[in-house]
Amino acid sequence: MKKKIKILIIGGGMAGLACSHLLNQIPETEIILIEQNSFLGAGVKTHWYGGHPFTFGPRYFLTKKMEVYEYFNKLIPLRSCNDIELISYVEQDDQFYNYPLHLDDVERMPDKDKIKEELKNREKSFKPTNLKDYWIGSVGKTLYEKVIDKYNKKMWQVEDNTEIDTFSWSPKGATIKKKNSKKSAWDGSYSGYPYAKDGYNQYFEIATKDTTVLFNSKVRIIDLKNKIFKINDKEKEKFDIVISSSSPDLIMDNIYGELPYIGRDLHKMVIPIEFVLPKHAYFVSYPNNEKFTRITEYKKFTHHKSPTSLIGLEIPSSNGRYYPLPQKKWHRLAKKYIDDFPEGMYSVGRNGSYFYTLDIDDCIYQAMLIKKDIENNTIKSGIPGKDYDFDVRI
């Protein structure tokens, strides 16, 4: 009789759930998933406020990978959100402008002549070393100060954007859309949100149907090299495969130091009007002196029917470990932890990979890669996927 493959999954967010579902498709697997909370889903779980459904974020599905979209849409049908327009309120102009930056908006700016001159005089090739130089070199100083500077200082809790020394993650890149082009945010990608009223929640049950799930649980390393762990301080257990979606410093008891994260305070407000934002606007960003970074109108995603609307207002804080810092020194520290992982121990998801840009689709794709490794008997370690290598970021 063939020996079962014993798999431990640490964390029940989207990364852990995708691994649970896909690895259960491999014959003769025995999977245990541990979750420190009393529920699954983490940031993709649907909650309710004032009768309105919402997720922390919100977490809409965005991907360029068709195999990932087809996999998830088959299980949880997705409604297209390809019409999403992101807008920013620039207080100094008292105007709302599109993001990504758009030449149609430049024409409405009071300093348009200065901006056009800066765009005209951009260097064709430059080698930025930080986020500030990257954006100024791409769009000029005026647009950078108008739309980018203060937002990122708030987002990353820094005094100056020269402190941010990586920038490949920068949303939608430092491009300016041409005149009369589409104002939708995600050209070349599929953007969607579940039709179901409870959003992604049904996936949690589907993904763990054949998995032993332990809630309110903790895990402790006994012998890392041999993948021996204790769950809830009970008997030692040896696993063939270990997949962690937790921050690597937590798994390793901070032996090399703590990895920093930016948290979020989410303030929810029910507004006595059916819709608050313009038709295609789902978010408004605020790159000014406000403490908050953006507001979201959730029913644009959920299509919830109500004469009122739920708005979420986000303030960066130390509350929670949601966003890994995009700084090389912290990527190097995360790499130091993950380099210690033995063969057969993977680190996945945004926190497990310590990679801000990693999203729902990437979690699923990483699970697909691990499944291939097991099926092909090419077991590896660390972060699956070349796109997520530390060498790409550092």
174 closest CA partner among 110, 236, 122, 116:
122
pLDDT tens-digit map of 318-344 = 999 999 999 999 999 999 999 999 999
DSSP code, position 282: E
pLDDT band at 1 (very low <50, low <70, confident <90, very high): very low
Q: Both 158 and 94 in a single domain? A: yes
Strand 236-238 versus strand 219-223 pairing type:
unpaired
Residue 169 has a pLDDT of 64
**Does 20 fall in a domain?**
yes
Final residue of a domain: which of 163, 182, 217? 163
Whether 351 shows a pLDDT value over 80: the answer reads yes
Kindly calculate the radius of gyration of the chain based on its CA atoms and give it in whole angstroms: 22
Instruction: Tell me which residue range forms the domain holding 98.
Output: 85-163
| Three-class secondary structure of residue 332 per DSSP | helix
Same domain, 250 and 343: yes
Q: Is residue 274, in this structure, part of any structural domain at all?
A: no
Say if residue 22 is in the same domain as residue 158.
no
Q: What is the distance between the alpha carbons of residues 251 and 9, in angstroms, rounded to a whole number?
A: 12
The whole-number average pLDDT for the span 232-241 is: 96
The answer to whether position 284 is within a domain reads: no
The pLDDT tens digits of the residues spanning 282-311 come to 999 999 999 999 999 999 999 999 999 999
For the chain, what is the domain count?
Answer: 2
Is 253 in the same domain as 330? yes
Q: Mean pLDDT for the chain? A: 94
Q: Are residues 109 and 245 in the same domain?
A: no
pLDDT the model gives residue 124: 82
Scan for tokens 């097991």, then name that residue.
Answer: 374
Q: Do 132 and 248 belong to one domain?
A: no
Q: Of 141, 163, 185, which closes a domain?
A: 163
Q: Is residue 173 part of a domain?
A: no
Specify the pLDDT at position 28: 94
Structural domain contains residue 143: yes
- Are 204 and 158 part of one and the same domain? no
Inter-residue contact 101 to 172 (CB < 8 Å)? no
**Is the model's pLDDT at 27 over the cut of 90?**
yes
pLDDT of residue 231: 97
On whether residue 183 sits in a domain, the answer given is no
CA 81 distance to own-chain centroid: 17
- Whether the pLDDT of residue 101 is over 70: the answer is yes
Residues 22 and 148 placed together within one structural domain of the fold: no
Residue 330 sits in the same domain as residue 250: yes
Cα–Cα dist 105/98, whole Å: 7
User: Domain containing 10 — which CATH number?
Assistant: 3.50.50.60
Phi, psi at 221, each rounded to 5°: -75, 130
Domain boundary among 110, 138, 163: 163
CA atoms of 214 and 13, how far apart (whole Å): 13
Same domain, 234 and 95: no
| Pairwise pLDDT comparison (393 vs 386), residue with the higher score | 386
How many angstroms separate the CA atoms of 167 and 134, rounded?
7
Same domain, 136 and 250: no
Q: Look up residue 206 and give its amino acid.
A: I
* Entry pTM: 0.95
Edge-to-edge strand ranges of the sheet holding 5-10: 212-214, 29-34, 5-10, 241-244, 345-347
Shared domain check, 120 and 14: no
